[in-house]
A and B are shown apart, each in its own frame.
Chain A
Amino acid sequence: MLLPRDNEKNIKIVAAVSTLISLILSVWVWLAYDRSLGGIQFVEQIPWVADLGVSFALGVDGISIPMLLLTNLIGFSAVYASWRVADRVKEFFTLLLILITGVMGTFVTTDLFIFFLFYEVVVIPIYLLVIMFGSSKRVTKEYAGMKLTIYLLIGSAFLLVGLIALFVQSRALLGYPCMDIFTLATVEFPIGFQIFVFILMAFGFGTLLSMFPFHAWSPDGYAGAPTAVSMIHAGVLKKIGGYGLIRIGLMILPGGAAYIAPIIAVLALGNVVYAAFICLSQKDLKYIVGYSSVSHMGYVLIGIAALNLISINGAIIMMFAHGVMAALFFSMIGNLYEKSHTRNIDDFGGLAHQMPRLATGFMIAGLASLGLPGMVNFIGEFTIFIGAFNTYKVLTILAVSGIIFTALYILRTLGAVLFGPRKPEWDHLEDLKGPEMVPLVVLGASIIIGGIAPFTLMDLINLGVGDLVAQLGSLQIGGMF
């Protein structure tokens, strides 16, 4: 931020270097995390507002490390995907870096208040980025930005109420003010209170995770947002919803979760099937990926709602998988849109002739999206299905049918855009090169490595979720489905 405004090149380099350092550090955390110990590691704690029990506490476990890794993989790629931004470069990258910092903060803190603070930090840059740098197609960028922000704010209002309630109640029970998530998790709240607060949480986080029928912001928002914001939003920001639901919802309010989970599971089925069908009728690439992301979040929600070790493991790896996949998809779409100024699939055709590298990126993202083995997304889906089937029989069977519709709309889209006869009007399009290759290489490699060697992530996640599930105990849910 201290750099002069006109030195665009340097601004981009600073952004690239700082995200690269973050990425390297998060990879180091992932590798250095002591798997034999488990629990929270790399703890840092600075008391902040003692009266409220707030402290700036950081620490990571098996649940947050994949999210941290995801944030940095996407943050790093997003900088390169924005390499062509030419207008108000300084503002753009400043906001982008604030956004990335905010998202990262929510994943690494162990303090409820700080979590909420970081979450609010995210909203402002998102709004500005969309209305300043977005694009308008079916809806204007102002509308998209406003819709996105209002949904996020309404969601966060519910969270705030829930948070205050938690605070008041825990102080009454503990006798001292406390905002530490892991301490709160040991408090046994009365069951009625748990249900009440969990509903607030489910609504707040569910909206963020585009839970049906509160998903309407998602396709419009992504369509209006600039590439990097779509990447970060669909890739990681959304995952704060799932992460919060697990970290705060399940951990602190397991009793409430047990009551509400079946409702979430039913809504999640709405996500999976309803959104997949809508994808079939879409023509705008961003809408397809937008609705597809709504559909995929249904799997995450079912995984969370099934409340068992396997399903939650699956939900977390699915969040990671969907994150890298969606970010790759959006970066390819953004690149294509910059060059062709259209996103309508009927305008394209045969692009694999002119842009083989871009086609490769689309293919990897698409095949990951339809859950092809060898891609990390398959691991997520398969694990969720197995886990969810333990809890909900009929619902899971219906959700599995999503694999057919997903394959249908993804392959039709890829076919319409990439294959078919060469269209001469696109001969001037240049294939990916230089910095544009970074998102493809980084995200594509993550998808494939995670798919071929799932144990690299799953063993870690399993540690974190293992601790969580031990707290959940033996909750009986879902008998009727």
Chain B
Amino acid sequence: MFAWSLELAWLIVLLPFAAFALIGLFLHRWPRLSASVSILAIGLSFALSVLVAAHVFLGGMQETFEISMRWLAMPGLNVDMGLLIDGLTAVMLIVVTLVALLVQVYSLGYMHGDPGFSSYYAYQSVFAGSMLGLVLANNFGQLFVFWELVGLASYLLIGFWFGRHSAKNAAVKAFVTNRVGDFGLLLGILFLQIIFGTLNFNGLAGEIAGYTNTAVLIAISILLLAGPIGKSAQFPLHVWLPDAMEGPTPVSALIHAATMVAAGVYLIARAFFIFSSTPEAMTLIAVIGGFTALFAATIALVQNDIKRILAYSTLSQLGYMVMAMGIGAMTAGMFHLMTHAFFKSLLFLGAGSVIHAMADEQDIWKMGRLKDKMPITTWTFVIGALALAGIPPLSGFWSKDEILLSAFAGGHIVLYLLGTLVAFMTAFYMFRLIFVAFFGTNKGGEEAHESSAVMTVPLIILAVLAVVAGFVGSPVMNYAFGHFVTYPGAVHYEPNTVVMVISGLVAIAGIVLAWAIYQKQLISHLALRQRFKVIYDLLYHKYYIDEIYQWLGERFVYGTAKVLFWFDIYVVNGIVNGIAALTGGAGRVLRYTETGQVQTYAAYMLVGVIVIVGLVMIAGFTLLI
């Protein structure tokens, strides 16, 4: 069935890039046309992706499909541009094209009237093409190319409203922080190329299976891991993601929640054969993921900006996925990636709808009773939050449960407890947001009203997905997801009712606590804030990590820069000018030899020639002997 769609899969990548080129070169004067071309391209990519996925999942494709084209080739180095299609790719294709399509449609309303409307769609197309190229890559070289290009799209879209200083700075911060991670990733790739002589995933998998030098594998794993730490914003390179909220909200939904930030998790899954070959690397991944999950969740508890709460929530959930990878539950991690993409983009688009209606207000304390003014946005948002909190039978419940189950059954009790605690916090901070902003008392925003259909329809579609997407990995559908997205070495456990019940109960407990504090006000949140002021300040200021980085940067990077410039001007240049001065001085002395007589000059010249030729001869002969 649909086997022909595989042959056309390259179009999935090419179409958005073609849309970008068309808009950039010809169409940018006509905003509506630009948007239509962009949406048409991603729509076609989505249609093709559906066919590919149908072939992979329903057509009973047994082997992975791979084609490639020579791109950068010389003896000893081969970087192809290729396609690799298996269950993992198919899932990512669907997620990326579907969310991108919905976000682009939604943006028609959200970005309406923006002077950069055409550019916005051009950048969206670059992003879509790059992300799809990354997902389809069959080797590390190609993956790195598109990995950087999604970073470019992210940079351009974070800084989309470049008139603001904050947007400009956030864009630079995102790119440079990611570069730190990419430094490691690139080194890892260099090691792979030098040691194994290939960058092709399948080729490497074969080589590594027979490779026994554990120290090298650990080194490579850690270096490669730096990439995902940057891209998926794990501690300590997480600082760019909250600032990235400066971009338009649909961008946050697509790039900084659903797809690009998940690329790091995808990379770990794609290169699972490398990471899983050493338990040390796996432990490191699990610890980083688990720590980020908890760390970010604590910050989310006290933030007031609706997008920042969601951003820290994204960090936390990405930590969850990374942790899942680290404990070997690659299938569970990818499953959570998929469900998270749907419900988190739903939440962001919902937040966008609110911000749009509230004239760019983002502080949740200035909102209230939005449920009366914006019913569709409110109820879809609540569905998204329930899914994120992990209330059965919504999608987040199944995927989160799968991760907790793997931690529990795999004997990682500390990580299991940590994950459960994070689940509780997640439910709490999400419903803090909901009770304050959507319910509670009216605090202005009188003019707020429901967004137009072009924005609400994507919300409804995503809400449906947030409800049902989890079934593909649940007993209802006999764990279909796990059959397609799995690799040798990925763990899978039988469902455990106790784990399920506990994870459901903590979620409900979190919601009830938020209800008690923020809806019923049984406990005063202001009193709590006073009581735990030190902790509150620490969390509110995000553990002061940005300030620490800022200080270190100013001190060391710019300090060194200034010192070196001084050195260059006064020492390196000074020596040169010193020599020049010396020559000038010598010139004044030697001026007396300039008699102006041709004979004298001829004599000098003769002496000079004899000296030079003599020196060369001597040098030449001594070297000969």
Contact = CB atoms under 8 A, between A and B. Distances in A.
B72 to A, nearest CB: 5
B565 interface: yes
Contacts of B77: 310, 383, 386-387
B144 A190 contact: no
A469 to B, nearest CB: 9
Interface in B53-87: 70-77, 79
Contacts of A350: 162-163
Interface string A286-303: 000000000000000000
B148 A373 contact: yes
Contact of A168 (B70, B72, B616): B616
B560 A277 contact: yes
B19 to A, nearest CB: 16
B401 to A, nearest CB: 39
Interface in B591-625: 612, 616-617, 619-620, 623-624
Interface string B137-166: 000010011101100100100010011110
B623 A420 contact: no
Contacts of B92: none
A401 B572 CA distance: 23
Chain B CB count within 10 A is highest, among A165, A190, A281, A372, for A281
A411 B172 contact: yes
A400 B560 CA distance: 18
A281 B165 contact: no
Interface string A340-359: 00000000001011000000
Interface residues of B, number: 58
A161 B558 CA distance: 42
B376 interface: no
A70 interface: no
Given A352-B162, A353-B163, A455-B73, A374 B145 contact: yes
Interface stretch (B96-104, B181-189, B388-396): B181-189
B545 interface: no
A401 B180 CA distance: 8
A28 interface: no
A177 to B, nearest CB: 15
Interface in A356-402: 367, 372-374, 378-379, 382-383, 385-387, 389-390, 396-397, 400-401
Contacts of A455: 70-73
B159 A419 contact: yes
Contacts of A309: 74-76
B5 interface: no
A216 B573 contact: yes
A404 B74 contact: no
A216 B71 contact: no
Nearest to B617: A168
Given A281-B562, A383-B77, A407-B175, A161 B616 contact: yes
A401 B190 contact: no
A405 B165 CA distance: 21
A169 B624 CA distance: 9
- A contact face: mostly helix, strand, loop, or mixed: helix
A432 interface: no
A382 B180 CA distance: 16
Contact of B176 (A353, A378, A379, A411): A411
B186 A400 contact: yes
Grouping DSSP codes into helix (H, G, I), strand (E, B) and loop, the B interface class, with mixed when no group exceeds half, is helix
Nearest to A397: B187
A191 to B, nearest CB: 9
B194 A389 contact: yes
B263 to A, nearest CB: 14
A339 interface: no
B623 A196 contact: yes
B501 interface: no
A43 interface: no
A421 B167 CA distance: 11
A231 to B, nearest CB: 24
Contact of A310 (B70, B76, B141, B580): B76
Given A403-B182, A403-B183, A411-B176, A383 B163 contact: no
B183 A400 contact: yes
Given A281-B558, A385-B186, A415 B576 contact: no
B176 A419 contact: no
Given A168-B617, A216-B573, A280 B558 contact: yes
Contacts of B617: 168
Contact of B620 (A169, A274, A279): A169
A405 B557 CA distance: 9
Given A196-B623, A420-B163, A462-B74, A408 B145 contact: no
Given A196-B619, A278-B561, A404 B176 contact: yes
Interface in A158-175: 161, 164-165, 168-169, 172
Contacts of B155: 411
B22 to A, nearest CB: 15
A196, A378, A420 pick with most chain B CB within 10 angstroms: A420
B168 interface: yes
A252 to B, nearest CB: 15
Given A397-B187, A411-B175, A277 B564 contact: yes
B557 A408 contact: yes
B572 A213 contact: yes
A396 B190 CA distance: 10
Contact of A165 (B73, B75, B620): B620
Contacts of B513: none
A373 B145 contact: yes
B169 interface: yes
A193 interface: yes
A372 B572 contact: no
Contacts of A19: none
Contact of B623 (A192, A213, A387): A192
B364 to A, nearest CB: 28
B187 A165 contact: no
Contacts of A172: 620, 624
B179 interface: yes
B114 interface: no
A454 interface: yes
A421 B616 contact: no
A279 B568 CA distance: 11
Nearest to B193: A386
A397 B612 CA distance: 43
A124 interface: no
A263 to B, nearest CB: 18
B618 to A, nearest CB: 11
Contacts of B576: 147, 216
B163 A280 contact: no
B190 A168 contact: no
Contact of B561 (A277, A403, A421): A277
Contacts of A109: none
Nearest to A379: B72
B562 A403 contact: no
Nearest to A173: B624
Interface of B: 70-77, 79, 141, 144-146, 148-149, 152, 155, 159, 162-165, 167-169, 171-172, 175-176, 179-180, 182-183, 186-187, 190-191, 193-194, 557-558, 560-562, 564-565, 568, 572-573, 576, 580, 612, 616-617, 619-620, 623-624
13 contacts: A168-B617, A279-B561, A282-B565, A310-B76, A372-B149, A373-B146, A379-B72, A385-B190, A386-B193, A403-B179, A407-B175, A408-B172, A415-B159
Interface of A: 147, 150, 161, 164-165, 168-169, 172, 190, 192-193, 196, 213, 215-216, 274, 277-282, 309-310, 313, 350, 352-353, 367, 372-374, 378-379, 382-383, 385-387, 389-390, 396-397, 400-401, 403-405, 407-408, 411-412, 415, 418-422, 454-455, 458-459, 462, 466
Closest 6 CB pairs of A and B: A280-B561, A373-B145, A419-B162, A281-B561, A193-B623, A419-B168
Given A280-B557, A403-B183, A455-B72, 4 more contacts: A193-B620, A379-B72, A404-B180, A419-B167
